[in-house]
Amino acid sequence: MPRQDWAVYACETTTGRIAAEIPFVNVNQFTYGINNQGTGTVTVPLGGNGISTADIDELTQPWRWSWAIAYKDFVCQAGPVISEQMTDTQDYTQVTFAGIWKLFSKRVLLPAGFTGGNPATTAADTVYTNLAYRQIASSIVATSITRGPVPIVLPPADSPGTDSASYFGYDLNLVADALSNLIALDGGPEIEFRPQFDPARHNYIQWVMRIGAPRLGQLGSPWAWDYGPRGAVQSLDFTRDGSQMTFSDYLRGAGSQYTLLVGTGENLDLVNAGYPLLEDVNGDHTTVVDPDTANSYAQQWVNTYSHPVNTPDAMVRVDALDLSGRLTGSPTLDQIAVGDTATWTVQGHRRIPDGTYTYRITQIDNGTTYDAAKLTLQPVVEVS
């Protein structure tokens, strides 16, 4: 895999206009996933064949500039520069950026027409009614980018729904928190901000807001990988974590003592199958005042953690070649998206029994070399 297939760009955060291509050394680090802010780190050589002091000083101004890591015409990750670290004994500097979701941790959810001042007024309240959850998520972002433009492409509007959400100015809700809370509801949508080159202007980058209904990705399994010498899978790691398992969740809402609002959710299927009762107390939503909302958060927590979390990690070739450089029929990095499912044929693995499994891709990271990427997987059919 040639290093020349990879590139790093700096663009204006507010417009997406690419201003420079950035030289780099070492493997660029990136991550992107479902409901995941994502990050990127680039090692930039200084002086000589690297970048000048003046250029690096300008192009690492936090938030003003966004950086993007691209594999050919596919943008792996892009977003605002957050930090830089350079040691005087080294001839390079490391620049870290975040996915565009990070920008919304610096945005308060206020109406587009709010002109400033004390937000503890009804004029600073934002209310969405008779919408689907995914449309509420889109509307939250639409409201925010009206107040401060960013090149985000929103999905088409949905038909009317039955859900509502109110954000009061006096609560000073951050947009990022509002999205995270929406995701955490039972039936809440999965979200990804997917960077891409603007199809109409290739020297611009934009972010497409992908919103699930409620999940992202294709529902079938058109992708396929093989574990073994004739496959594009270089390694397949396996982790099983039951530390957060719970069959009954109690969620602390607003209030105290006998006025405390408590949301509840449960799934006792495994208890009935012989598991011990496992309960949890959740303190992530202590400002909730609506009982139905509290119950929804609690039920979603149980839905997520009523089984152990199995997370196989696959290191795959980004060009879909096998160890001998032959085409395998597996997808390349630019073809897959987080949320997609695929069949994985496993033979001769020391932990996972031989067979064909369906795994869902929940996160994608850089590999340890230019020719690899790491996929975090979620079993659709449980691996025993």
**Segment (H or E) for 356:** strand 355-366
The predicted pLDDT at position 383 comes to 41
pTM over 0.75: yes
**Helix 133-147 / helix 175-183 crossing angle, nearest 10 deg:** 170
Q: List the single range of 184-188, 204-208, 217-221, 372-376 with lowest mean pLDDT.
A: 217-221
Structure tokens of 28? 């660029």
Which CATH entry fits the domain spanning 3-99: 3.30.70, 2.60.120, 3.40.50, 2.40.10?
2.40.10
pLDDT in tens, 301-320: 999 899 888 888 999 999 99
Integer angstrom CA distances of residue 72 from 4, 119, 318, 366? 9, 46, 11, 14
Residue 290 corresponds to which amino acid? Answer: D
Return the bridge partners of 226, or none.
Answer: 345
How far apart CA 246 and CA 315 sit, in angstroms, is 31
Q: Residue 340: name the closest of 322, 321, 316, 324 by CA.
A: 316
Residue 277 has pLDDT above 60, yes or no: yes
Residue 126 has pLDDT above 70, yes or no: yes
Sheet holding 191-198, edge to edge: 152-153, 201-211, 191-198
Residue 3 is given by DSSP the state G
Chain segment 14-57, per-residue pLDDT in tens: 999 999 999 999 999 999 999 999 999 999 999 888 999 999 99
**Per-residue pLDDT tens over the stretch 150-162:** 999 999 998 889 9
The arrangement of secondary structure in 223-240+310-379, i.e. its CATH architecture, is Roll (2.30)
Please state, in angstroms and rounded to a whole number, the distance separating the CA atoms of residues 306 and 377: 18
Residue 96: pLDDT over 70: yes
Report the alpha-carbon distance of residue 154 to residue 137 in Å, rounded: 10
Whole-number Å distance between alpha carbons of 20 and 264: 52
Q: Give domain limits for the chain.
A: 3-99, 105-194, 223-240+310-379, 243-307
pLDDT for 2:
64
Report for 141-145, 238-242, 343-347: range of highest mean pLDDT: 141-145
Rounded-to-5 percentages of helix, strand, coil across the chain: 20, 40, 40
Under the banding of pLDDT at 50, 70 and 90, the label for residue 381 is: low
CB under 8 Å to 95, separation ≥6 — which residues? 41, 42, 44, 60, 67, 81, 83, 84
Q: List helix spans (H) across the chain.
A: 53-59, 133-147, 175-183, 269-272, 291-305
Segment 72-92 shows an average pLDDT of 96
Q: What is the mean pLDDT of residues 336-357?
A: 92
Give the pLDDT score at 125.
95
Percent of the chain, pLDDT > 70? 98
Better-scored residue on pLDDT, 85 or 312: 85
Q: What would the pLDDT profile of 349-376 be if each residue is shown by its tens digit? A: 988 889 999 999 999 999 999 999 999 9
Average pLDDT across the chain, whole number: 93
Residue 377 C-beta-side C-alpha neighbours within 13 Å: 28
Contact yes or no for 246/281 (Cβ under 8 A)? no
Q: Which of 147-161, 178-192, 194-208, 218-232 shows the lowest mean pLDDT across its residues?
A: 218-232
* Cα–Cα dist 191/362, whole Å: 11
DSSP helix/strand/coil, 355: strand
pLDDT band at 379 (very low <50, low <70, confident <90, very high): confident
Pairing state between β 18-21 and 74-85? unpaired
Nearest alpha-carbon partner for 252 in 304, 300, 278, 291: 291
What percentage of the chain has pLDDT greater than the value 90? 85
pLDDT at 181: 94
Residues 114, 124: Cα–Cα separation, whole Å:
6
Tell me the β-bridge partners of 321.
327
Cβ proximity of 61 and 82 under 8 Å: no
